Amino acid sequence: MGIMGAQMAARLVRSGAQVTVWNRSLAKTEPLKALGALVASTPREVTTSCDLVFAMLADPQAAMKVATEGPDAAVAGIAARPPTAAPITYVDCSTVDAATGEFVGNAVRAAMVAGAADPDKGGFLAAPVSGGWRDCRDGTLLFLCGGSRAAYDAACVPHGLDAMGHKRWLLGPNPGDAARAKLMLQVMMGNMVGSLAEMMALSKASGLDERAVLDVLSNSAMGNPLCTAKGKLMMEMKYEPNFQVYLQQKDLRLALQLADDLGVPAPISAAANAQYVRARQMCLANADFAAVRMAYEAEVPPDKESETGELN
């Protein structure tokens, strides 16, 4: 129930679905409980009782742990479902590498077989999401999907993906298809905001009016809503998190590993990644990823940081 997971669950509740939520720290489920959601004590409890399950986790390690590790994992609940239960569909909306998506998908399929369920009905769908928490609140997320047609159709229902997003694609039959496509978007977003930070730092060093430069950019052929919004945060030095530095750096790291595996040079992404690493070193890991702008400044004094990464 992080920034995105909490909004996704709230959106499902407001769509009229009966929603059961689980989070590693119980306190984060309280606002959803107040909205009418039920609270489970383990991932197993969720997958035992729910026919459509969404996972939204920070990284590959968390996605695999919640899904597959131990007697309380999600796959344990799938295997324990009675043969008379409806087919279950497990949708992982996390941004992970292809190997993680395929590992979790295989584990879900094996658990369905162990529970005497038909693995060709429902199953596993990788559906990494593009968009921020405001898009989720408004039901305008984008979903990049990889998996079987049965799982895709089961997830694309009024109380499922269709409640949270306004556009979706089934990119291929394998979870890895969705994972790789999502990393392509993260390469562009991370590099673009990293380049914007460099431009803003150079504008400041040149004695230019940063606001005027950003206004020119926004009205040029290179203008776009992302640069306009993140440039404003950089000028104001207010980095309350929407999508955190550590998550963007994780995604670039996964993309660089993919590039290395495929033998494709990625020098621009490598340079941008180094600046996000620098921002993490400056204790800005939990700030909005626009805080990569601070990688061009001196270290942030500890007494100038807030828990959100906003500079006071």
Identify the residue whose tokens are 């905001």: 193
Catalytic positions are 182
Task: Catalogue all structural domains in the chain, each as residue range(s) with its CATH number.
Answer: 3-173 (3.40.50.720), 181-304 (1.10.1040.10)
Return the closest-CA partner of residue 234 out of 191, 194, 273, 271: 194
Q: For residue 282, which of 241, 253, 251, 311 has the smallest C-alpha distance?
A: 311
Strands 129-130, 141-147: pairing is: antiparallel
Which candidate, 249, 251, 236, places its Cα nearest to that of 284? 249
Letter for the amino acid at 194? G
**Closest C-alpha to 81, from 126, 114, 121:** 114
Let me know: does 22 contact 46? Beta carbons within 8 Å.
yes
- pLDDT one digit per residue (tens) for the chain, 312 residues: 888 999 999 999 999 999 999 999 999 999 999 999 999 999 999 999 999 999 999 899 999 999 999 999 999 999 999 888 889 999 999 999 999 999 999 999 999 988 867 777 889 999 999 988 888 889 999 999 999 999 999 999 999 999 999 999 999 999 999 999 999 999 999 999 999 999 999 999 999 999 999 999 999 999 999 999 999 999 999 999 989 999 999 999 999 999 999 999 999 999 999 999 999 999 999 999 999 999 999 766 555 444 445 443
Specify burial of residue 303 (Cβ count, 10 A radius: 0-12, 13-18, 19+): exposed
